[in-house]
Amino acid sequence: MTNLLTGYLEDRSTAQYFCFSISCEVCGEFWYSSSVPFSKAGQAAEHREKRELYDAVYQREKNRARLAAGREAVERFSQCPICRRLVCDSCFLICDEMDMCRECAGRLKESGEPVAP
């Protein structure tokens, strides 16, 4: 699941911080991961070697932040077992027999409570 989510992450990072988002495929609302500041943000690179070093650090920290965002997203997203889409907790319903997304539940006339209202 984490791998799946990590694949869906959209990059919203800036030079100052790393942030990723995933949109719910049912309601379309974006969820944003907690932003992680770049450790070298705001430090000027005086020469080319240093800039390259910073770029490398940036990439490494970004990858780490992406993994963390994926782990964070696991808490808020589920994959609907029926339509296989990624849905946010407000669109994912706990139904009697099988949990599923709001739209599938509507189609199958199932009722349930959302994971997070």
Partner 1 sequence: MKIRWLPFLLLCLVLAGCSTASDTGGRLILAAEGAEAYGSVLSPFLWGYTLQEAEDSLYAELDRGSAVACFDVQAIPAMDRGLGRYWYPHVSATVVLAVDRTQTDAVITGWDSLRENHIQVGMGSSSVMRNMLVMGALSYGLNRKEPVKRDALAFLESLVGNGGFEPEESDAPVLLCLDYEAVEWNRSGGNYEIIVPSEGTLSFRLGLLSDAPLTLEPGLDEALLSAGLPLANGQRPYGFPDDYRTARTLEEEDYDRFLELTGDSSRDLRRQVFHTRLYTTADLREHILSAVLVAVAILLWKGTVSHRMLRADVRRAVAVMSWLMVGWLLLRLFKYQLAEESTLSRMCWYGYYLFQLALPAVLLYLTEILDKPEKERQPARTRWPAFICYLLSVLLVMTNDLHQLVFRFEANGNWPKDYSYGPGYWLIIAASFILLALAVVKLFRMGRRSSYRGGKLFPLLFCGSLLAYVLAYIYRVPLAWESDITVNICILSVLFFESALRTGLVPVNIQYQRLFASAPINLTLLDESGHTVLSSGGVRPVSRSLWMRLLADIQRPLLRDRDTQLHAVSICGGMAVWQEDLSQLNHLKREIQEVQSRLEAANALLREEGEVKKRMLAAETGRELCEQLDRDMERRITVLTGLIKSLPETKDPKRLIAHITLCLCHIKRRCNLFFLARQGMALPGDELGIYLDELAELACYTGVKMLVRCGETGALDIRRAALCYDFTFETISWTLEAAASPLMGYLEAENDCLVFRFLPDADPNRWRFSEELLAEVSALGGQITCKDLDDAVGLCMTLPLGGETNG
Which residues of this chain interact with partner 1, rule CB under 8 A? 12, 14, 16-17, 19, 21, 23, 27-35, 76
Q: How far apart are CA 12 and CA 18, in angstroms?
A: 7
Which one among 27, 67, 68, 74 touches Zn ion, defined by CB under 5 A?
A: 27
Which one among 5, 19, 24, 69 touches Zn ion, defined by CB under 5 A?
A: 24
- Quick one: tokens of 60? 């490494």
Window 76-95: contact mask with Zn ion (x via CB under 5 A): ----x-xx----x--x----
Q: Is 26 helix (H, G, I), strand (E, B) or coil?
A: coil
How many H-runs (helices) and E-runs (strands) does the chain carry? 3, 10
Sign of CA dihedral 69, 79, 3, 52: negative
Question: Whole-number minimum distance, CB 6 to Zn ion, in Å?
Answer: 19
Residue 31 interacts with, from partner 1, Zn ion, none (CB under 5-8 Å by kind): partner 1
Candidate segments 10-18, 32-40, 75-83, 109-117, binder of Zn ion by CB under 5 A: 75-83
Query: Could you tell me the end-to-end alpha-carbon distance of the chain, in angstroms, rounded to an integer?
Result: 22
46/75 with CB nearer Zn ion: 75
Evaluate whether 87 touches 94 at the Cβ level (below 8 Å).
Answer: no
